[in-house]
Amino acid sequence: MNKAVFLDRDGVLNEEIGHYVWKLEEFVVLPDVAASLARLKQAGYYLVVVTNQAGIAKGLYSAAEVQACQQKLQQATGNLLDALYFAPAHPSVSESLARKPGSLMLEKAMARFQLDPTRCWMVGDRLRDMQAAERVGVQGILVGASEPAAYQPRVADLQAATDLILAGSVRNS
């Protein structure tokens, strides 16, 4: 069985700008993301982006625009990402098991890459990311300060999350 790091997109890999990010000129990869992903890849992790993209359901942008942002991210990180899963639904328009806190995106990747959930991590900036991970037995790391909850472990950014993962820190129970 393999291991992976699931990565939320906005606020973890690229700048969180306070509204939907789909325009390439607004899609800015955060500092140290490429170096962090390279360290994780070197340690044998699959790298899987799992992102809610409700703007599609709302008609603000298309799946092709999400893919264009993913391509920009791939170019900025040396094509280190193994997969992109995105949930185009929004509760006001349509329901979806894929939309986090649902876990279908993670489940699909787990089947595709034959992942052992006890060897996987989820790095996200929202409690819904942590809830999706918990549903499938994956350890979560909350980054940033956008959520007021006292969730642990909580770190500043992907670089600090990478340090925790590679240090083999003890899983929360």
Asked if pLDDT for residue 113 goes beyond 50, the answer is yes
Tell me the pairing of strands 83-87 and 154-155: unpaired
- 129 noted as active-site residue: no
User: How many angstroms separate the CA atoms of 100 and 85, rounded?
Assistant: 11
Tell me the whole-structure pTM to 2 decimals: 0.93
Domains of the chain, residue spans: 4-113+128-166
Catalytically annotated residue among 10, 125, 129, 157: 10
Catalytically annotated residue among 8, 125, 129, 157: 8
- Report pLDDT digits (tens) over 64-106: 999 999 999 999 999 999 999 999 987 776 678 888 999 999 9
User: How many angstroms separate the CA atoms of 119 and 2, rounded?
Assistant: 7
What single DSSP character describes residue 169?
A: P
Q: How much is the pLDDT for 93?
A: 66
CATH for the stretch 4-113+128-166: 3.40.50.1000
User: How many angstroms separate the CA atoms of 83 and 50, rounded?
Assistant: 9
- 10 noted as active-site residue: yes
Residue 84 neighbours by CB under 8 Å, 6+ apart:
48, 49, 51, 66, 67, 70
Task: Give the bridge partners for 52, in sequence order.
Answer: 87
Q: How much is the pLDDT for 171?
A: 47
Task: Give the bridge partners for 87, in sequence order.
Answer: 52
Q: How much is the pLDDT for 132?
A: 97
